[in-house]
Amino acid sequence: MIYKILKKSRTIIALAVLVLTFVLFIDIYEWIPEDTFDSILYLQFVPSFLHFLAVFSLVTAGGFLLILLLTLLVGRFYCSAICPLGILQDVVTRVARWRSKKKRFFKYKKPHPVLRYTFLGIMVLAILLGGGWIVSWLDPYSIAGRSFTYLFKPLVVWANNGVLVPVLQKFEVYSVYHQNLILPYLVPTLLTLALTGAIGYFAWKRGRLFCNTICPVGTFLGEVSRFSLLKVKFDQDKCTRCGKCSGVCKSECINIKEYSVDTTRCVTCFNCLEICPESALSLTPAKKQNAAESSVNQMKPVDVAANSVGHDGNRRKLLVTGLALMAGGRIHALKKNKMPESQKDLLRNEKDHPVAPPGCKSIARFNEVCTGCSLCVAACPTGVLQPALAEYGLSGFMQPHMDYSTSFCNFDCNKCGEVCPTGAILPLPIEEKQVTQMGKAVFVKQNCVVYTDETDCGACSEHCPTKAVDMVPYKNGLMIPQVDQSICIGCGACEYPCPVNEPFKAIYVNGNAVHQEAEKPETGEKQEVDHEEDFPF
């Protein structure tokens, strides 16, 4: 009975975590307050650890320590009930089991230590050396976040606009309304779809294969679980080797022939404990290894030697792949700089740096800490935050950047810093955010329609919130933009409405590698108005 309660409790916790995390990413009406984001994501392991490295506060970012303590108590409970990607895999596995006619869906499989420890080593090196782009492809929370943002959120918006809003408006219910659908770039969407599809396929066929073969968080917590207080153990006198426990073990780690459970792969789902008809399996305090386990451990030096060879091979492949990607990016840049014949008289926008979100302090720091979970992309009300392709180079692939071809940064918004779970984007008060200079506007007179077509425009000046872009006399009664970079904050409100097509914008934002503080614009003296004399009626 106690194991049935444990299993049901674990299922309820997992569903609650999955629903809350999913809602954070698809909250199209912004119903969830920003101050609750940290509470919901506090126990996500990698974001919590990176957040701690960024702020050095256990109160703000100590969730990873609680996960370690929980693992030392009962094993990899995080993987089973807190990790959103793990819970998603369980959902896929449950559907696969419903559709399958097999009596025993799973069976024991040997572990893959070479792959497991290779990916763990890559993850550790990436964190130590600031390779945030590598972390973004291995962190399970970030993978789940991108799936929610780039795959599920557009579907929710489509359902809202095409089904929910028309139906409710027929009943004169206007609490829900049409939402603008901002689709991400095709490449990030396809990559996310491919990775999510591959993980889903693994879950359909082999349960937690991804978690126990590739996921570095699962491997690390598996090593910690070797020292956990409570472990699943066999009572050989009671066991009849019916195989029911092995048939429901989604980690494929129960070897009924040897009466053993691979603790490092067990995700503490309690399925085996609940289904065993003889109560031969129990969650008991850890005991000393028996002679058979000791003999297996004596063979580990040979395995380690083999692992090192495999690790070297994988490291070479990773290096070659990285060089190929960098070379490919250079070739792409050369092709991109070919100017069309019809636009030969226009000057191409030359940006020294992309524009990183406010609160990241510097591009280098941002690339080191950000895991590309895309929560800020999902939460951004204007949609200006988009996943980077080549903007940051290889080091910031899929990390968000300010894409002023999509939109602009709202002058009165600081939501990205409020929701960031890793501290890559630090929260800024509105007053501080409004003077944080992410970049500087650059005016290209030769591209401006006032110069080329001799016609009125002024869209950039109209939208500038700090009035860093001002219109000055030009000729024939025309006005032309002029930029005061000292009060410009690089919000993109000038670049976005510019009618000239990219990459020949008449005004664009050149990002700052290190964010600076802009000067406050002069407001001038307040003029008194004679209301009695000027009253219009």
Q: Do residue 32 and residue 154 come from a single domain?
A: yes
Three-class secondary structure assignment of 141-169:
HHHHHHHHHHHHHHHHHHHHHHHHHHHHH
Residue 310 resides in a domain: no
276 lies in the same domain as 385: no
How many domains does the chain divide into? 2
Q: What tens digit of pLDDT does each residue of 58-94 get?
A: 888 899 999 999 999 999 999 999 999 999 999 999 9
How far apart CA 267 and CA 103 sit, in angstroms, is 22
Cα 233 to chain centroid, rounded: 37
pLDDT digits (tens, 9 = 90+) for 177-231: 888 877 778 889 999 999 999 999 999 999 999 999 999 999 999 999 999 999 9
| For helices 45-55 and 140-147, angle between their N-to-C axes, nearest 10 degrees | 110
* Residue 330 resides in a domain: no
Tens of pLDDT, residues 335-360: 344 444 545 678 999 999 999 999 99
241 & 388 share domain: no
Omega cis (within 30) before 503: yes
Q: Are 274 and 413 in a shared domain? A: no
Q: Are residues 127 and 6 in the same domain?
A: yes
Within a domain: 535: no
Phi-psi region of 416 (alpha: psi -120 to 50; beta: other; left: phi over 0): alpha
3-state secondary structure of 20: helix
54 located within any domain: yes
360 with 502, same domain?
yes
Specify the higher pLDDT residue, 293 or 528: 528
Does some domain include residue 309? no
Residues whose CB is less than 8 angstroms from the CB of residue 400 and which lie 6 or more positions away in sequence, other chains included: 357, 370, 372, 374, 376, 377, 385, 386, 387, 388, 416
Asked whether residue 433 is domain-assigned, the answer is: yes
- Residues 126, 255, single domain; the answer is yes
CB atoms within 10 A of CB 180: 11
Domain CATH code at residue 502: 3.30.70.20
10 Å CB burial of residue 330 (0-12, 13-18, 19+) is exposed
Report the distance separating Cα 42 and Cα 65, nearest Å: 11
**Residues spanned by the domain of 115:** 2-288
Residue 70 lies in a domain: yes
One domain, residues 60 and 170: yes
Residues 363 and 256 in one domain: no
Average pLDDT estimate for 524-535: 52
374 and 281 belong to one structural domain: no
In a shared domain, residues 256 and 403: no
Instruction: Say yes or no: 49 and 141 in one domain.
Output: yes
Whether 311 and 121 have beta carbons less than 8 Å apart is answered as: yes
Q: What is the pTM of this model?
A: 0.83
The pLDDT tens digits for 133-181 are 899 999 999 999 999 999 999 999 999 999 999 999 898 888 888 888 7
Task: Say yes or no to pLDDT of 389 above 80.
Answer: yes
Supply the mean pLDDT for the chain: 86
Which is more confidently placed, 57 or 210? 210
In a domain, residue 249? The reply is: yes
